[in-house]
Amino acid sequence: MFGKARFFLTAMILLSGIILQGCDTSHPPESRLKTALAKSEQCVEPTALMRTNHMEFIKHMQDDTVYGGIRGTKHELKACINCHVPAASEDGKPLNYLKDNETGELNEEHFCATCHKYAVVKLNCFECHSDNPQNEGVAPNTAAHKIPALTSAQAKGGSHE
């Protein structure tokens, strides 16, 4: 009885060893992370916490933004992109998450894609959200056309207190 179990266990360990052999043990290339590493000290949370929990921060922020109209906080996806992704790669082309829009191949030069490609993460943030800070300011909000006598606090609903 136990012999059978031990055999099974040994077989499993051996098998997983064989399977893992095929995996690439190399880490994401450091050179690609130049921008990220340069800014890791200034990040809103410690690097180790961000590495494991960034998706949780973003997920909580999405509800606060959609339902509560809370914008411009430190855990916003837009803030991540604006800080970590340069508008253009070294050859001057816009730096997008996907290298090829048709095949869906990830662009390892993009900060998010660097690790996601390595960890084989499939995410859909950038199916809707902007993956590049260059789109910031495309909208004509430079005119800063403020509503007369309406501050941001009042806009949140404090005007009749």
Partner 1 sequence: MSNPQNINSYRRKFMQGIGVTAAAATLAPGMLLREVQASNKEGYVTDKVRWGMLIDTNKLVEGGQEVVNACKKEHGWGAEAHSNERQKASWVRKVTVTEKTTGYVNQLPVMCQHCETAPCVDVCPTGASMKRADGIVLVNKHICIGCRYCMMACPYKARSFVHESLFDQHADSPRGKGTVESCTMCVHRVDEGKEPACVEASNGAIVFGDLNDPNSNISQKLKAEDGKQIRADLGLNTGVRYQGI
Dihedrals φ, ψ of 54, to 5°?
-60, -35
Which of 43, 83, 98, 115 lies at the binding interface for partner 1 (CB under 8 A)?
98
Answer yes or no: are the C-beta atoms of 110 and 85 closer than 8 Å: yes
C-alpha R_g of the chain? 22
Least separation, in Å, of the C-beta of 124 and partner 1?
8
Residue 128 engages partner 1 in binding (rule: CB under 8 A): yes
Cβ distance to partner 1 smaller for residue 28 or 89? 89
Piece of the chain touching partner 1 by CB under 8 A; list 9-17, 30-38, 94-102, 110-118: 94-102
Tokens of 53: 């929990």
Q: Nearest 5 degrees, angle CA 69-CA 70-CA 76?
A: 125
Handedness of CA 36, 42, 43, 48 (dihedral sign): positive
Contacts with partner 1 by CB under 8 A lie at 62, 64, 66-72, 78, 81, 94, 96, 98, 101, 124, 127-130, 132-133, 135-136, 138-141, 143-148, 150-152, 154-161
